[in-house]
Each structure stands twice: as C-alpha cells, then as structure tokens.
Amino acid sequence: MKQLVQATIAIIIACFLLFFASRSLESVGMDGSKDTLTVYNWGEYIDPELIKQFQKETGIHVIYETFDSNEAMYTKIQQGGSSYDVAVPSEYMIETMIEDDMLIELDHSLLPNAQNIDPYFLDLPFDLKNKFSLPYFWGTVGIVYNPTMVPEDLTFTSWEDLWDERLKGKIFLVDGSREVIGMGLNSLGYSLNLKDDVALREATDKLIQLTPNVKAIIGDEITPLMINNEATVALTWSGQAADMMWENEELDFAVPEEGSNLWFDNMVIPKTSKNVAGAHAFINFMLDAENAAQNADYVGYSTPNAAAWALMDEEVITDERFYPDEELREHLEVYENLGLEWLGKYNEYFLEFKMNLN
C-alpha cells in the first residue's frame, strides 16, 4: 500500500511539472505566442539596438530574419511554412500582396505614432489610405560616381552621361530588371511603368548601345568596389550610395533630371502572424520619432518620419541628393505592379540586354 501511495504521489508531481513546463514554453513563445515576434526584413536594415530596446520595453522576444529580394520574401510568406508577424516589402510587392489577400488590415488606433509620418508619403496608389502598410524608409534610384575618376563635364544629372564613350568599361549596374529597363525608358522620356512593346524594344536597343561601357551587372558587391575606388560609376539605390559615401568621401550621387524611381519600403502584417497585437506594437515603436531618427542614422536611408527630422543632423535632411525637393520629386515615379505578363516581358528584355554584354 505504501508503494502504491508513493507511486500515486509521483504521478501527481509529474503531472504538475508537465503542466508548468508547458506554460513555461508558452510564455517564451515557443508556439508563436504573444511573447514572441518574428520580423522579416532586408539585411542590415535596422539598428540592432532598437530590437534590444523593444524587447526590454515590451518583454516580447524578437526573432529577426532577413531576405534579399521582394520575390524571395513573397514566396516564403505565401508558402506559409513560417509565421511572420511583421515584414517590410517594397511598394509594388505590397500591391501584389494586397491583391493576393496576404495582409492583415492595420488597426490605426494602435498606431498613434503614424501621425509622425510626412503626409507626402501616405495614401499612395499602391495602398490607398494606408490600410495595410506604413512607411519605413524611402529613396531613389540614381548614379553614384567618383568625380576624380571621370571627366569633369560628367555630373550625371542626365542619364545620357552614362552613354559617354569615355566611360568604356567603367559602369556597374544593379542586377534588377525594373531598375535597368526603367533607366532605359527614363532616358527616352518614357514612364518606367510603361506597358508598351514598342517603347520597351526601343529602350532595350538603347541599353544594348550602352554595353561597351558596362563592366558588370552585380549586387551588393557594388558597395565595397565603389568604397575602395575599384569602380568608377554605378547605378544604385540612394541608401546604398549613402553607405558608400559614408566610407569614401570622394564619392557623389545624382538623380538624373529626366526622371527615376521613387521607392518605398513599408511595414506590413502578413496573415501568417500569430502575434498581431505585438506586430502593431513593433510598428508603432519603429514610428516613434526618436527611434526613427536613430534607425535612419544607423541605416543611412531616408526616413519618411517628419517628427524624426527635428532630431537629425540638419546637413543630412537638407541634402537634396537623399531628400530631394518637391520639384525633383515631380519627375520621380513609384513602381507599379505590372502584373505577371508585363513583369515577364521586362525580365525578358533585361535578359536580352545582359546577353549582349561582352
């Protein structure tokens, strides 16, 4: 009888231990609970200290994962194998994700810091009334170059400067069909969202004439090459140019007057989220003026947070290369969702251009 009582007590204790262990696992968010938040963002696109600060203030543990393209991000979220609570796609991909019913509508009552955003960056065509997204960073596509390594008369205020024969073998291009084909279209005075085979043919033919000047089409390797003066000219994004210029003060950046891309990366909550309240808390935290200023100083990209501007170096926010005035913005276009058919055509023309490189 004594052994039976001891066994019964042991079973009861084991049950209690199992119960408390399961509650402990839940409390640390092993099941994607309210104490864990999974953020999916571009690489090197947040100040790590802000993640630590958010965790300290909220008690929410942040799992931070990165992607290197909108398409990779889209595919992983669509597959549903991972439960992401916050993601940071670009404007055209946000439009696609809305169409594909992949996003949760934001509860703006939980996002009071949204009032810090400059109205210029709100209510844009890809997400009217910002039902599904709020701005994180923004910027342009332009030309970074070393003035000491190019002829003095080339200031790259025009796309035409890239076709100058004196730049033979000196230009690097980012590996993106929208950026490169868009450059060709803009150089001819066309919209970079054009759905017209004749114009795309004309733009591609003109780009093929550029091939003698193109040294390579590459990705993030552009940054160290430009920093170390191993490259002379590059088509790139403004934030990437800012990173280069921080390390190499000889470099300069220009947005050609014919027009270019105005891009946005916005914060969204995918329907895979298991912590919607925590996702709202994180977005609101990132929109705080002090946090947004700190993040912009660390990342180097332009912040849409008007309240943060008062806390930042005036030389930064008045630098029209990275904070272009309204006159220049009138010549900039946001990428539109082209649809699968036309996106495929842009990719085909881009591939044709690449195949003509020596």
Residue of higher predicted confidence among 324 and 136: 136
The candidate with the shortest Cα–Cα distance to 108, out of 127, 125, 93, 90, is 127
Question: Is 322 contained in some domain?
Answer: no
CA atoms within 13 A on the CB side of 302: 23
Whole-number Cα distances in Å, 20 to 13, 32, 254: 11, 18, 60
Q: Domain check: are 24 and 1 in the same one?
A: yes
Q: Domain check: are 313 and 338 in the same one?
A: no
Q: Domain check: are 224 and 340 in the same one?
A: yes
Domain count along the chain: 3
- Specify the residue for token string 């309210």: 34
Query: pLDDT digits over 112-135, tens only?
Result: 999 999 999 999 999 999 999 999
Per-residue pLDDT band at 340 (split at 50, 70, 90): confident
What is the C-alpha separation between 355 and 358, in angstroms, rounded? 8
Domain that holds residue 122: 32-137+266-317
**Whether 85 contacts 59, CB under 8 Å:** no
Q: Domain check: are 188 and 69 in the same one?
A: no
Q: Domain check: are 205 and 342 in the same one?
A: yes
Q: Domain check: are 79 and 122 in the same one?
A: yes
Whole-number Cα distances in Å, 215 to 176, 210, 230, 354: 16, 10, 11, 11
Instruction: Report the CATH number that the domain containing residue 150 is assigned in CATH.
Output: 3.40.190.10
Q: What tokens were used for 8?
A: 């019964």
Question: Is 289 contained in some domain?
Answer: yes
What is the pLDDT averaged over residues 267-275? 97
Q: Domain check: are 244 and 338 in the same one?
A: yes
**Whether 322 contacts 302, CB under 8 Å:** yes
Q: Domain check: are 299 and 334 in the same one?
A: no
Q: What is the pTM of this model?
A: 0.80
Q: How far apart are the first and last CA of the chain?
A: 90
Burial of 198 (0-12, 13-18, 19+ CB in 10 A): exposed
The region that residue 306 occupies, defined by phi over 0 for left and psi between -120 and 50 for alpha, beta otherwise, is alpha
Whole-number Cα distances in Å, 163 to 157, 263, 355: 13, 25, 18
Query: pLDDT digits over 29-79, tens only?
Result: 334 457 999 999 998 899 999 999 999 999 999 999 999 888 889 999 999
Q: Domain check: are 237 and 212 in the same one?
A: yes
Q: Domain check: are 214 and 186 in the same one?
A: yes
State residue 15's pLDDT score.
45
Q: Domain check: are 148 and 115 in the same one?
A: no
Q: Domain check: are 290 and 226 in the same one?
A: no
- Specify the residue for token string 């073998």: 169
